[in-house]
């Protein structure tokens, strides 16, 4: 898993509440067993018309937003069914961090296991951040996980809290297997005595 220490990049806003995992990636694109290429299907029904053409008004279809690494969303982002492909699609598109007032529980677990940083902030703070990035015309935003700060182009700094264990796992780039392998010697000793 890729380490997350600091990300500086384009942030975009998706001001929709209750974005479920089927909106993030429709089920018809979940036949793949690998993560590569899923980014092209991210928000497919919002990004594309039925004929497959891009909807110019959708935020991720704007030229500056195609390089987005930070997504500011509304409440209950990632709700719905357990769909690890939703996290994979976000990551494959290039999204490293999602900021929202709340997240679906299963989505949050999948994000943590796949290196996607989720930052929970009050709804009014998320709305203010969304306005700021629109006014700044997608000027770079920096997420510093070690300092637990969001730095805007205006110079404003917004602090955020994160579970210490989740923070460590993200900063060290450890998935479940990586965390287990850190204890390989202890496991081997235990197995030798069993």
pLDDT tens-digit map of 165-188: 999 999 998 777 776 677 777 777
How large is the average pLDDT for residues 99-107? 97
Q: How confident is the model at residue 33 (pLDDT cuts 50, 70, 90)?
A: confident
Residue 1 lies in a domain: no
CATH classification at residue 29: 3.20.19.10
Length in residues, the chain: 194
Q: How many domains does the chain have?
A: 1
Contact at 8 Å (CB) between 150 and 143? yes
DSSP state of 17: S
3-state secondary structure of 193: helix
Residue 97 lies in a domain: yes
């Amino acid at each position: 898993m890729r380490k997350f220490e600091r990300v500086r990049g384009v942030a975009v806003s998706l001001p929709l509440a209750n974005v479920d995992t089927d909106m993030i990636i429709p089920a018809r694109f979940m036949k793949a067993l690998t993560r590569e290429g899923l980014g092209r299907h991210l928000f497919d029904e919002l990004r594309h018309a039925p004929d497959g053409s891009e909807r110019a008004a959708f935020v991720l279809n704007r030229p500056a937003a195609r390089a987005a690494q930070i997504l500011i969303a509304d409440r209950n982002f990632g709700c719905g069914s357990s769909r690890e492909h939703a996290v994979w699609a976000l990551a494959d598109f290039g999204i490293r961090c999602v900021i929202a007032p709340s997240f679906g529980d299963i989505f949050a677990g999948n994000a943590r296991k796949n290196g996607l940083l989720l930052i929970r902030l009050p709804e009014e703070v998320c709305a203010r951040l969304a306005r700021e990035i629109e006014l700044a015309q997608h000027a770079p935003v920096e997420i510093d996980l070690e300092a637990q700060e969001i730095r805007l182009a205006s110079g404003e700094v917004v602090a955020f809290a994160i579970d210490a264990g989740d923070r460590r796992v993200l900063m060290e780039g450890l998935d479940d297997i990586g965390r287990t392998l850190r204890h390989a010697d202890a496991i081997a000793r235990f197995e030798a005595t069993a």
